[in-house]
Amino acid sequence: MSEDAVARIEGLKAEWPNNIGLQCFEAAYFVTLSEDGKARLLNCLNSGIENPDSEMGCYACQPSDYDDFKPFFSKVLARYHKVSEDTRHVNNWSLDGIEGLPADGVLDLARLGLPALSMRVRAGRNLKEFPLPGSMTKDDRIGLENKMMAAFEKLIARPDYGGRYHSLTPGNPCFIDDAAYQELVDQHIMFKNMDNDRYLTAAGIAADWPYGRGCYVSADKGFIIWVGEEDHLRIMCMQRGTVLNDVFDRLKSALDLVEGIEGLEFAYSDDYGAVTSCPTNLGTGMRASLHIQLPNLTSDGTDKRAKAIAKPLGLSVRGAGGEHTPIGEDGTVDISPSARFCITEAEIVASLYKAIALLVEEENKAA
């Protein structure tokens, strides 16, 4: 079985040079693994094999995969994140010492002449005691959800994070029907049906849909935790406003609060920081994003020009509905720094503040 897989990967390599997982796979390393190791590494690569058009082409499926398969993942991380193979990630939420920021440390978009925008910062986290989503059984997924529902009981009564949990699991006491689910998706609160994502399906991450999936939403709808998406948890704070610190600081407080709940222990690697399913998110698991209208740079109805301008600024452009979605009719796009790994949390939010000013300059020039 594994000889066939190796032959298939080697055959795909020549045709798909941009698939990082395939390109970093080395048969000489693979043959040194145990039978269990070979099966685990092929599991990590399955999405990229079944979807050779992938960019990353692999996902971790166990919390220890990055460390257990370091000869492979160190190459993947070096190629995607453009760092050295022996690099180590450091987490840091303090803005102190970061150059080019306002002296008072307030990252107020109004100072850049921008109006109130939809600001969102999220961090992916996984619990150490479960397999990652790519290798979870249906019982694992329901067990994770039940564990998180018990943890949410600690949040529900709080004035700052109080809210309620919505479950997609049939028979769950917090179960919501399709209409209520779709309403939460339309409000950009709940994640989309994972069965429609061929990458996550081939990775095993979408398996058993919709069991073990749901989201916790605070009363003010500014604090949300996705349960059972691409990572066990996607913890996010969102707010319409101009001060990036508001969502950044609230997320840090929320992460500390959730991680402090008895029985919850996040998966970390000494070398790679917070463990996430996708190597693109490893380290911080953080995406800090703004929804901003760029009618001039998207005047041709596509995000091509916006992406060409944003990429050299270290920014990614997504549709208004997130990854793999179209731009908004009014030219609204989702802008976020591309870097997640070997950059601190503080540097991510600082880079968003500094780069958005340059992007807006280009938008105004394109008028």
Give the active site residues: 122, 230, 234, 278, 280, 287, 318, 323
Q: Which is nearer to ligand DAR, 95 or 206 (CB)?
A: 206
Q: Does 274 bind ligand DAR (CB under 6 A)?
A: no
Q: What are the helix (H) ranges across the chain?
A: 2-15, 20-24, 27-30, 35-50, 65-68, 70-81, 138-156, 178-186, 198-203, 244-259, 304-310, 345-365
327 binds ligand DAR (CB under 6 A): no
Point out which span in 5-13, 53-61, 239-247, 347-355 binds ligand DAR (CB under 6 A). Answer: 53-61
> Using the rule CB under 6 A, which residue among 230, 303, 334, 363 binds ligand DAR?
230
Minimum gap (Å) between residue 56 Cβ and ligand DAR: 3
Q: How far is the CB of 301 from ligand DAR (least distance, A)?
A: 24
Residue 325, CB-side half-sphere exposure with 13 Å CA sphere: 19
Give, as one character, the DSSP assignment of residue 323.
T
- Cβ proximity of 56 and 80 under 8 Å: yes
Q: Considering only CA atoms, which of 234, 227, 200 is closest in space to residue 61? A: 200
**230 vs 303, which CB is nearer to ligand DAR?**
230
Confirm or reject binding of residue 325 to ligand DAR (CB under 6 A): no
Q: Report, in Å, the least distance between residue 199 CB and ligand DAR.
A: 4
Question: Per the structure block, which two tokens stand in for 109?
Answer: 């978009």
Which residue, 161 or 226, has its beta carbon nearer to ligand DAR?
226
Q: Is 119 helix (H, G, I), strand (E, B) or coil?
A: strand
Nearer to ligand DAR, 20 or 306 (CB): 20
336 near ligand DAR (CB under 6 A): no
Contact call for residue 49 and ligand DAR (CB under 6 A) = no
Q: Which residues contact 291 (CB under 8 A, 6 or more apart)?
A: 117, 118, 120, 320, 328, 332, 333, 334, 335
For the bound state, the minimum distance from the C-beta of residue 65 to ligand DAR, rounded and expressed in Å, comes to 15
Rule CB under 6 A: say whether 209 interacts with ligand DAR: no
For ligand DAR, how many residues bind (rule: CB under 6 A)? 9
CA 93, 99, 102, 107 torsion: positive or negative? negative
Asked if 280 is part of the footprint of ligand DAR (rule: CB under 6 A), the reply reads: yes
Quick one: tokens of 309? Answer: 């301008």
Say if residues 276 and 300 touch (Cβ distance below 8 Å): no
Q: Is 289 in the site for ligand DAR (CB under 6 A)?
A: no
Q: Is 123 in the site for ligand DAR (CB under 6 A)?
A: no
Per-residue tokens: 259? 């991680």
By CB under 6 A, residue 23 contacts ligand DAR: no
Please tell me what DSSP assigns to residue 326.
Answer: P
Write out the residues near ligand DAR by the rule CB under 6 A: 54-57, 199, 230, 278, 280, 323
